[in-house]
């Protein structure tokens, strides 16, 4: 692991690292914010998964999360959105598949299999690295959140690993990739044509199949002026599935807000306090 950037921030440190990933077979980059409380001992962490076209830097530079994280005593961990540098055919041809579009799945189709394993990276490899390298500053307690494609990832990972996370939240998530164009392209390309295999990476399908979220009801914010709302995001599908399953999902419909980081920054404090309550009591 190599530190490639560091900045003092709200009494803590915003740092950036690279390391060699076995599950993605390449060099991966991630960011960590350590609040000032980490100097006194390990603090819980919130993992943030970014959306299409993003790296770890979008969240770090635009979300305005460090101030509240420093107040609460939460570490923030932001991985990249895909492997980089494999030079696979078609890897850089479009914004919604390949580079910066790993969709937080374990790919099974060539040439992506064995390389595009962002699910295992987020769930297994990166937390193990954090435990190994940051034992003095970051505890095992964790929550997870994300935006758009990353919101999809956070919901799916929370549902499939309820024992690992204290809470889940999302901004404008893709709640049912099996039913929208972004998901059809990504899941079809990474997992193949068998739609039964897609259900493992579809939050709405997982709720229908009996999976449940950890901790309090997940907090989901959706801007009503989001240009992707009707075709790609469709939060009503998750709301309907949750209602049918008898579980609570807190979806807040925000008039006038779009898909941008201006929207995310507006409600970031609410999300961090949601996680802080679950992690810190």
CB atoms within 10 A of CB 274: 22
Catalytic residue among 148, 167, 169, 172: 148
Catalytic residue among 226, 271, 274, 275: 226
152 among known catalytic residues? no
CB atoms within 10 A of CB 166: 22
Q: Which of 89, 119, 19 is nearest to 98 (CA)?
A: 89
CA atoms of 181 and 281, how far apart (whole Å)? 40
94 among known catalytic residues? no
50 among known catalytic residues? no
Catalytic residue among 147, 152, 259, 271: 259
What are the Cα distances from residue 72, in Å, to 46, 144, 274? 12, 16, 11
CA atoms of 61 and 231, how far apart (whole Å)? 28
Residues with Cβ within 8 Å of 95's Cβ and at least 6 positions away in sequence, in order, are 52, 53, 101
Contact by Cβ (8 Å): 164, 123: yes
**Which residues are known to be catalytic?**
148, 226, 259
């Amino acid at each position: 692991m190599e530190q490639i950037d560091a900045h003092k921030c709200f009494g803590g440190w915003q740092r950036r690292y690279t390391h060699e990933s076995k599950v993605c077979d390449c060099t991966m980059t991630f960011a960590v914010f350590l609040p000032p409380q980490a100097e006194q001992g390990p603090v819980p962490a919130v993992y943030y998964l970014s959306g299409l076209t993003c790296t770890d830097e979008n969240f770090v530079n635009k979300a305005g999360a460090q101030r509240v994280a420093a107040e609460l005593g939460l570490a923030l961990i932001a991985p990249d959105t895909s492997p980089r540098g494999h030079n696979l055919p078609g890897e850089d041809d479009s914004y919604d598949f390949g580079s910066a579009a790993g969709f937080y799945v374990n790919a099974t189709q060539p040439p992506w299999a064995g390389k595009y394993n962002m699910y295992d990276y987020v769930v297994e490899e990166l937390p193990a690295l954090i435990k190994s390298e940051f034992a003095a500053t970051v505890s095992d307690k964790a929550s997870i959140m994300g935006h758009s494609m990353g919101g999809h990832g956070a919901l799916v990972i929370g549902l499939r690993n309820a024992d690992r996370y204290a809470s889940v939240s999302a901004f404008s998530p893709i709640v049912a990739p099996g039913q929208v164009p972004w998901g059809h392209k990504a899941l079809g390309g990474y997992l193949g044509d068998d739609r039964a295999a897609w259900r493992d990476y579809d939050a709405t399908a997982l709720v229908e199949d009996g999976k449940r979220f950890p901790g309090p009801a997940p907090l989901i914010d959706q801007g009503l002026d989001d240009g992707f709302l009707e075709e790609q995001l469709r939060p009503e599908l998750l709301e309907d599935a949750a209602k049918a399953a008898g579980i609570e999902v807190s979806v807040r419909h925000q008039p006038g807000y779009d898909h941008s980081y201006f929207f995310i920054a507006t409600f970031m404090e609410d999300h961090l306090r949601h996680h802080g309550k679950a992690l810190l009591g």
